[in-house]
Amino acid sequence: MNEEFQKEIGIISQVNHKNVVKLLGLCLETKVPLLVYELISNGTLFKHIHDKGSQILASWSNRLRIASEIALALNYLHSLADPPIIHGDVKSVNILLDNKYTAKIADFGASVLISPGQTNILASKIQGTLGYLDPEYLMTGILTVQSDVYSFGVVLLELLTGEKPNSISSSGEKLNIIQHFISALETNNLFKILDFQAADEGEMDEIEVVAELAKACLNRMGVNRPTIKQVSDRLAMLTEHTQKSWTQQNNDETDYLLGETSTSSRKEVDQPILTPSQTVISFQIENYTDSI
């Protein structure tokens, strides 16, 4: 086995998280050694974003849930794995969806282990995928956990806009999707470049929060990006709010259909549901840089 193959086995064999693909075994009976992973039946996130016939991303709630699951997995790799791991090649092709469309991070060929007390790795060669690569890593050759944060920001942008990082315009010119996205966000044109329709004002608020979060992740300076834990916590908060709103809406519809008018039901219906702008935007993403 070559050195890179052994390195990937060493990394993936010690990872255990519901949102990371599981290594089941190793086959040495073939000319080229093979890693055997769990079957992930619904292909890559890239396929579902860019195949306009796919329905799984038709709703904002699914896009938000998948983004939250990816962030959870990265937070596990950065903070909870022992030793911590920098994935090194976060992109939509390396995010798989299982039979329940749960997101799972795959492909640890470019990953590195972080030794105790270590905060960065001076790479012997640049690895990863252009369009997703941290510009700071490209310039310095120094890989950090914040490099994964940048790449995740590109995936968030992809989930929002449906555009590939290296897109070509109809005139054949190469587009800088990141600059286009940030410009749209800063000129209040975000909803003109989305790949889907927001169902209501509550979803619009959530989308704006995630867009600001993506912008923060895409800061060219790693020190000014949020940590993946901050990102994961914000996305989890949004996801929880979305689930509560969906449950409340369904309960209200059920009560209406059944004709229930009990005092307890009326109290539940009358309880105001805080919008994302009240519960989430208040944490002010623009203050990330001050808190890091």
Report yes or no: 107 and 94 within 8 Å, Cβ to Cβ.
yes
**CATH assignment of the domain containing 139:** 1.10.510.10
Where in the sequence is the domain holding 227, given as residue range(s)?
3-291
The SS3 assignment for 245 reads helix
The number of helices, as runs of H, and strands, as runs of E, in the chain is 11, 8
Report yes or no: 113 and 145 within 8 Å, Cβ to Cβ.
no
Looking at residue 212, its pLDDT comes to 97
Looking at residue 190, its pLDDT comes to 96
Q: Report CA-CA distances (Å) from 30 to 10, 33, 34.
A: 20, 6, 7
Report yes or no: 71 and 79 within 8 Å, Cβ to Cβ.
no
Q: What is the pLDDT along the chain (292 residues), one digit of tens a residue?
A: 567 777 788 888 889 999 999 988 888 788 877 888 899 999 999 999 998 778 999 999 999 999 999 999 999 999 999 899 999 999 999 999 999 999 999 999 899 999 887 878 988 889 999 999 999 999 999 999 999 999 999 999 999 999 998 766 556 666 789 999 999 999 999 999 999 999 899 999 999 999 999 999 999 999 999 999 999 999 999 999 877 765 665 665 666 666 655 555 555 544 444 455 444 444 444 454 454 4
Burial 19-37 (b: 16+ CB within 10 A, else e): bbbebeeeeeeeeeeeeeb
Please choose, from the candidates 78, 113, 116, the residue with its C-alpha nearest in 3D space to the C-alpha of residue 228.
Answer: 78
Looking at residue 207, its pLDDT comes to 97
Q: For the chain, how many structural domains are there in total?
A: 1
Report yes or no: 12 and 24 within 8 Å, Cβ to Cβ.
no
- Tell me which residues are annotated as active site: 89
